[in-house]
Chains A and B, each alone.
Chain A
């Protein structure tokens, strides 16, 4: 991070959170980490957050780490976690 004052928007924060979760599962290998990240998001994120991150994944695929991106592919639509 730079020294500039930085306030994350909600969208940026969701992307940051998804990448952060993915990074902490990363030592389990990409496939396992993606599955765990998807499960984690399903268990702890409310439906609106899940819908938003899926939309963000489509809009800004480059913002997500490979594990986070793979995890979000696995996420069912909101309401069918």
Chain B
């Protein structure tokens, strides 16, 4: 794709009413949806009416007066952005009078605007400049001697963009984008008349304000008033390539705007079906890690983790890797090795890693990051509905009347989707939040939850069963739906169970700590408020009853008929960019791609025929089982692509012991991550900018990742895995990732209709995409559940065995923050650290006071598993008795604290419930200092020359 701006139709599409009207614009007859603006109609007809305050990402405003038109039979000159077309309307957009009026308006704008176009960073990419040309402005009669707004100080506080008020034309596009698109309301126009100016929050600079740096204001700005620092530094782009973000499961698509091989900026793509032209601070700005100086570009090996790394050629590294795995298998057995696929890499790369393990290693010892996040989603939704994935597309939320968010914090974890959700809430949808913390969604500008149920961590099942109790005992369920779509006998068993008095909101109040009347009101609202949708996150899955909670959620949706159409459904907010895809691709030790068990003879034969080897019919080891087997001496080698289990997985001591017990750990990554401290081979990885492939987001949407620059390390990740496979004698011959996708499609019924040609033609496809659904499946289970009849599962509340007591009286729950992603390996190497330089421990004021702690104090956080130190953040966002922290920084190693307890069905760790004590501290613990010393020692590198 060469560089051209995306077409801006000036105003958004009209709300669909099904009616059309016919108008004539400049002699051209057009039939368009009722409610379309004249401006948009003219644009759709191929014309363009001059405009400044209008852009199609926000509602029309009618302030600049540049878009005036003439309408036959109407007096005056209406603004085309605010005037809808009506049947029979005749419009003229270019007349002598209009030209004169527009020149007059533009003349006023330019009279208070610096004329430094040639040295302006937006030169050639400035709408003000374009419109001055479009209206034929040739001189400004007013001169520049009088008062102006020029010469004001720039606000350069934001690490990614500058604000130059001198170049601001006060069109309010930035203010409206912040309100309508992002929903943060951080910007305003302060003062009046000539003194009017854009201001973040209450006179603060951008960095210190409520601004979340999503970039919507920068994108909306028609001048250089708000502009990316990178554009200022580099110049404007000369080409653009559409690709998919490598952060979070929303899967935003961006135009990677390039100058040669240099990335100038990432601009959210308006046609992106997941993000609809919006972005967050991570995807929009935090891509600098790709060129970070700490990135490892040469392969390295070492005999022992005590030694420094030795840079070697690719040939040596690959040959060494293959020979080590073969040696270890010969000595310890076929099942003594395994691997971990990456939820950050592409579908094609993930598929190849599990193929390497199944075909090359000859076992099923493959697992993925989903083990520690959404494996309960896979288990729970497959059991109840028949498919291990969410039921809706993101657009669906715009048709919801009630939104129930449980165990998710989308404004931090899935910010672009959160903005859509907040837009729907501002339109009047009702919100229920079930979360121990008062997340931003509970109360933020123009959004307030109808009900916030601040339950005690670990009591999700009791809470959801109590809601079911209300729905059943008050007969709020949808009997017709249940009889038609579900197993009625199973429903009755479930209904009898939830109806027992012991499961009423009143009975479980001592467990959850939530007012039963609030629970009753929330249940009634969910059951009777219209289209009701459930969105959930890791606060559901990362518990000892994570799978039960997912099934309890599915029970609620089935009981109320909230499944199988737009606006409803059960929607897991997946964490990493391709964690859905990693699961789809057969990354679990018991399943091939498409969630088919390895013991299924027909499926196994399909793969055996394709791959030419006999495959193991026994399930393999999950990540924690691999670590257990390693400490027991039975598991000796691990291939880890794009994951950092030492930082992300629970009980760091146990992970470290497992890794230390292995004879060969291979890490394929961008950086020497924490796991690499225990590695013997390091294979440098490539970024999402440097390879082709696909990611699958939380909506099951498969989207293209497109290479925009050559891999700095020399190879795309799929090529590296192919080199290892061929060194092991597997004879792979993929020339391009599209060929890997063709193999996936041939072997996976839900992907049968997926190819790069189809993806290019459709933009994206939501699986299942096959002959039965050639354009994909935005909404699942419309006419029936994939498994046949929906299955109600009795979910008995089983309290966690992780108990508070005198030594550990508080409950720790962990989570994420907007500016960082997962273990922070990427975002810590960007300017996002300006917002979050360290993990902090949120503690309630009363708990802090009891311990003599003040905000900012160093504290020791201790559990039965271990201890660490970090600084306190005293806040009433957490309830008394609950503390909270993030796990983005290895200096903190929050997972030193978390335990081995896990979900009963999937072994997903119980990150959200750890009994802890907090006490005053003087600074980093001995363990942290020892760990830092060992990490420094482990990261020593002998360069290639010295090694020879």
- CB within 8 Å of B: which residues of A? 1-8, 10, 13, 17, 20-21, 23-24, 26-28, 40, 43-49, 78-79, 81
What residue of chain A has the Cβ atom nearest to residue B900's Cβ?
A8
A selection of 12 A-B contacts at a CB cut-off of 8 Å is A4-B864, A6-B864, A7-B653, A24-B548, A24-B904, A28-B794, A40-B905, A45-B619, A45-B625, A48-B634, A49-B625, A79-B618
Contact of B335 among A3, A44, A48 (CB under 8 A): A48
Q: Are B619 and A20 interface neighbours, CB within 8 A?
A: no
Q: Are A44 and B904 interface neighbours, CB within 8 A?
A: no
Q: Are B621 and A46 interface neighbours, CB within 8 A?
A: yes
Contact of A44 among B590, B631, B807 (CB under 8 A): B590
Instruction: For the complex formed, measure the closest distance between the CB of A50 and the CB atoms of chain B, giving whole angstroms.
Output: 9
Q: How far is the CA of A10 from the CA of B613 in the complex (A)?
A: 32
In addition to A45-B625, A78-B618, A79-B618, 13 A-B residue pairs with Cβ atoms within 8 Å of each other are: A1-B803, A3-B864, A5-B864, A6-B864, A10-B631, A13-B628, A23-B798, A24-B798, A26-B796, A27-B794, A28-B794, A40-B905, A81-B618
Given contacts A20-B544, A28-B794, A46-B625, contact A13 B900 (CB under 8 A): yes
Q: How far is the CA of A65 from the CA of B806 in the complex (A)?
A: 28
Q: B801 within 8 Å of A by Cβ?
A: yes
Q: How far is the CA of A48 from the CA of B497 in the complex (A)?
A: 37
Q: Are B545 and A24 interface neighbours, CB within 8 A?
A: yes
What residue of chain A has the Cβ atom nearest to residue B365's Cβ?
A46
Q: Are A46 and B864 interface neighbours, CB within 8 A?
A: no
Q: How would you classify the secondary structure of chain A's contact residues: helix, strand, loop or mixed?
A: helix
Given contacts A3-B808, A10-B628, contact A24 B905 (CB under 8 A): yes
Q: How far is the CA of A2 from the CA of B444 in the complex (A)?
A: 41
What residue of chain B has the Cβ atom nearest to residue A2's Cβ?
B805
Residues of B within 8 A of A23 (CB): 798, 904
Max count, chain A CB within 10 A of own CB: residue among B618, B620, B629: B618
- CB within 8 Å of A: which residues of B? 335, 364-365, 497, 544-545, 548, 589-590, 597, 599, 618-622, 625, 628-629, 631-632, 634, 653-654, 794, 796, 798, 801-803, 805-808, 864-865, 900, 904-907
Q: How far is the CA of A43 from the CA of B590 in the complex (A)?
A: 7
Residues of B within 8 A of A81 (CB): 599, 618
Contact of A10 among B364, B632, B794, B802 (CB under 8 A): B632
Q: Are B620 and A46 interface neighbours, CB within 8 A?
A: yes
What residue of chain B has the Cβ atom nearest to residue A78's Cβ?
B618
What residue of chain A has the Cβ atom nearest to residue B866's Cβ?
A5
Residues of B within 8 A of A44 (CB): 590, 619, 622, 905-906
Q: Are B618 and A1 interface neighbours, CB within 8 A?
A: no
Residues of B within 8 A of A47 (CB): 335, 618
Q: Are B497 and A27 interface neighbours, CB within 8 A?
A: yes
Q: How far is the CA of A16 from the CA of B818 in the complex (A)?
A: 36
Q: How far is the CA of A56 from the CA of B590 in the complex (A)?
A: 23
Residues of A within 8 A of B544 (CB): 20
What residue of chain A has the Cβ atom nearest to residue B899's Cβ?
A6
Max count, chain B CB within 10 A of own CB: residue among A45, A78, A81: A45
Q: How far is the CA of A23 from the CA of B905 in the complex (A)?
A: 11
Q: Are A24 and B618 interface neighbours, CB within 8 A?
A: no
What residue of chain B has the Cβ atom nearest to residue A47's Cβ?
B618
Residues of A within 8 A of B801 (CB): 1
What residue of chain A has the Cβ atom nearest to residue B798's Cβ?
A23
Q: How far is the CA of A21 from the CA of B544 in the complex (A)?
A: 10
What residue of chain A has the Cβ atom nearest to residue B598's Cβ?
A43
Residues of A within 8 A of B808 (CB): 3
Q: How far is the CA of A44 from the CA of B625 in the complex (A)?
A: 11
Residues of A within 8 A of B625 (CB): 45-46, 49
Q: Are A20 and B618 interface neighbours, CB within 8 A?
A: no
Q: Are B905 and A3 interface neighbours, CB within 8 A?
A: no
Q: How far is the CA of A37 from the CA of B634 in the complex (A)?
A: 25
Contact of A48 among B364, B590, B599, B629 (CB under 8 A): B629
What residue of chain A has the Cβ atom nearest to residue B809's Cβ?
A3
Instruction: For the complex formed, measure the closest distance between the CB of A11 and the CB atoms of chain B, giving whole angstroms.
Output: 9
Residues of A within 8 A of B597 (CB): 43
Q: How far is the CA of A21 from the CA of B634 in the complex (A)?
A: 25
What residue of chain B has the Cβ atom nearest to residue A20's Cβ?
B904
Residues of A within 8 A of B621 (CB): 46, 49
What residue of chain B has the Cβ atom nearest to residue A50's Cβ?
B618
Q: How far is the CA of A11 from the CA of B53 in the complex (A)?
A: 68
Residues of B within 8 A of A46 (CB): 335, 364-365, 589, 618-621, 625
Q: How far is the CA of A24 from the CA of B589 in the complex (A)?
A: 22
Instruction: For the complex formed, measure the closest distance between the CB of B179 and the CB atoms of chain A, giving whole angstroms.
Output: 46
Q: How far is the CA of A6 from the CA of B899 in the complex (A)?
A: 10
What residue of chain A has the Cβ atom nearest to residue B794's Cβ?
A27
Instruction: For the complex formed, measure the closest distance between the CB of B388 and the CB atoms of chain A, giving whole angstroms.
Output: 14
Residues of B within 8 A of A5 (CB): 864-865
Q: How far is the CA of A8 from the CA of B801 in the complex (A)?
A: 13
Given contacts A3-B807, A13-B900, contact A24 B796 (CB under 8 A): yes
Instruction: For the complex formed, measure the closest distance between the CB of B553 and the CB atoms of chain A, giving whole angstroms.
Output: 16
Residues of B within 8 A of A79 (CB): 618
Residues of B within 8 A of A45 (CB): 619, 625
Pairs A-B, 6 closest by C-beta atoms: A3-B807, A10-B628, A20-B904, A27-B796, A24-B904, A3-B805
Q: How far is the CA of A2 from the CA of B808 in the complex (A)?
A: 10
Given contacts A3-B806, A6-B864, A10-B632, contact A21 B590 (CB under 8 A): no
Q: How far is the CA of A40 from the CA of B903 in the complex (A)?
A: 13
Q: How far is the CA of A48 from the CA of B630 in the complex (A)?
A: 13
Instruction: For the complex formed, measure the closest distance between the CB of B201 and the CB atoms of chain A, giving whole angstroms.
Output: 46
Max count, chain A CB within 10 A of own CB: residue among B544, B794, B803, B864: B864
Q: How far is the CA of A49 from the CA of B626 in the complex (A)?
A: 11
Residues of A within 8 A of B907 (CB): 17
Max count, chain A CB within 10 A of own CB: residue among B364, B590, B628: B628
What residue of chain B has the Cβ atom nearest to residue A6's Cβ?
B864
Instruction: For the complex formed, measure the closest distance between the CB of A19 and the CB atoms of chain B, giving whole angstroms.
Output: 9
Q: How far is the CA of A22 from the CA of B660 in the complex (A)?
A: 33
Residues of B within 8 A of A8 (CB): 900
Q: How far is the CA of A46 from the CA of B864 in the complex (A)?
A: 29
Q: Are B905 and A21 interface neighbours, CB within 8 A?
A: yes
Residues of B within 8 A of A7 (CB): 653-654, 865, 900
What residue of chain A has the Cβ atom nearest to residue B618's Cβ?
A47
Residues of A within 8 A of B619 (CB): 43-46
Q: How far is the CA of A45 from the CA of B906 in the complex (A)?
A: 10
Q: Are A10 and B864 interface neighbours, CB within 8 A?
A: no
Instruction: For the complex formed, measure the closest distance between the CB of B372 and the CB atoms of chain A, giving whole angstroms.
Output: 16
Residues of B within 8 A of A28 (CB): 794
Instruction: For the complex formed, measure the closest distance between the CB of B615 and the CB atoms of chain A, giving whole angstroms.
Output: 15
Residues of B within 8 A of A48 (CB): 335, 629, 634
Given contacts A6-B864, A46-B620, A48-B629, contact A1 B802 (CB under 8 A): yes
Residues of A within 8 A of B904 (CB): 17, 20-21, 23-24
Residues of B within 8 A of A6 (CB): 864
Instruction: For the complex formed, measure the closest distance between the CB of B446 and the CB atoms of chain A, giving whole angstroms.
Output: 42
Residues of A within 8 A of B653 (CB): 7
What residue of chain A has the Cβ atom nearest to residue B590's Cβ?
A44
Instruction: For the complex formed, measure the closest distance between the CB of A64 and the CB atoms of chain B, giving whole angstroms.
Output: 15
Residues of B within 8 A of A3 (CB): 805-808, 864
Instruction: For the complex formed, measure the closest distance between the CB of A63 and the CB atoms of chain B, giving whole angstroms.
Output: 15
Residues of B within 8 A of A27 (CB): 497, 794, 796
Q: How far is the CA of A49 from the CA of B618 in the complex (A)?
A: 11
Q: How far is the CA of A24 from the CA of B545 in the complex (A)?
A: 8
Q: How far is the CA of A1 from the CA of B632 in the complex (A)?
A: 25
Q: How far is the CA of A4 from the CA of B548 in the complex (A)?
A: 29
Q: Are A10 and B629 interface neighbours, CB within 8 A?
A: yes
